[in-house]
Amino acid sequence: MAFLNFAEKFKSDLMKIARTTLSSKILSQDKEHFAQLAVDAVMRLKGSTNLEAIQIIKKPGGSLKDSFLDEGFILDKKIGLGQPKRIENAKILVANTAMDTDKVKIYGARVRVDSMSKVAEIEGAEKEKMREKVKKIIAHGINCFVNRQLIYNFPEELFADAGILAIEHADFDGIERLALVTGGEIASTFDNPESVKLGHCKLIEEIMIGEDKLIHFSGVEMGQACTVVLRGASHHVLDEAERSLHDALCVLSQTVNDTRVLLGGGWPEMVMAKEVDELARKTPGKKSHAIEAFSRALVAIPTIIADNAGLDSADLVAHLRAEHHKEGCNAGIDVISGS
Last residue of a domain, one of 202, 222, 242: 222
Q: What CATH number did the domain enclosing 167 receive?
A: 3.50.7.10
79 shares its domain with 197:
yes
How much is the pLDDT for 108? 62
Q: Residues 201-223: pLDDT tens digits?
A: 888 888 888 788 888 888 877 76
Whether 195 is in a domain gets the answer yes
The number of distinct structural domains making up the chain is: 2
Q: What is the pLDDT of residue 1?
A: 47
Query: Would you say residue 286 lies in a domain?
Result: yes
Task: Flag whether 290 is in a domain.
Answer: yes
φ/ψ bin of 228: left (φ > 0), alpha (ψ from -120 to 50), beta (otherwise)? beta
Q: What is the pLDDT of residue 290?
A: 92
pLDDT at 293: 92
Does a structural domain hold residue 52?
no
Cβ-in-10-Å burial (0-12, 13-18, 19+) of 139 comes to exposed
> Which of the listed residues 222, 256, 282 is the one where a domain comes to its end?
222
**Spatial CA neighbour of 55 closest among 180, 219, 148, 146:** 180
* Residue 210 backbone zone (phi > 0: left; psi -120 to 50: alpha; other: beta): left
pLDDT value of residue 106: 60
Question: 302: number of CA atoms within 13 Å, CB side?
Answer: 32
Examine the domain organization and report whether 77 and 214 are in the same domain: yes
The DSSP-derived string for 78-138 is PPPTTS-SEEEEEEEEEE---B-TTS---TT-----SSHHHHHHHHHHHHHHHHHHHHHHH
In a domain, 182, yes or no: yes
Q: Based on the domain organization, do 114 and 191 belong to the same domain?
A: yes
Both 117 and 183 in one domain: the answer is: yes
What mean pLDDT, rounded, does the chain reach?
82
- Tens of pLDDT, residues 106-157: 666 677 888 888 888 888 888 888 888 888 888 888 888 888 888 888 888 8
Residue 281, classed as helix, strand or coil, is helix
What pLDDT does residue 104 have?
A: 54
Residue numbers in the chain where pLDDT is lower than 70 = 1-4, 24, 47, 101-109, 223
212 and 301 share a domain? Answer: no
Instruction: Give the domain range for residue 184.
Output: 72-222
- Domain assignment present for residue 25? The answer is no
Distance (Å) of CA 313 to CA 267, 276, 321: 15, 21, 12
175 assigned to some structural domain: yes
- Both 217 and 94 in one domain: the answer is yes
Residues 121 and 187 in one domain: yes
Residues 117 and 177 in one domain: yes
Do residues 295 and 167 share a domain? Answer: no
Q: Is residue 197 located within the same domain as residue 281?
A: no
* Residue 310 and residue 183 share a domain: no
How far is Cα 278 from Cα 129, in angstroms, rounded to an integer? 83
pLDDT value of residue 105: 58
Query: Of 222, 252, 280, which residue is a domain's last?
Result: 222
The verdict on 272 and 217 lying in the same domain is no
Q: Is 218 left (phi over 0), alpha (psi -120 to 50) or beta?
A: beta
Residue 233 maps to a domain: no
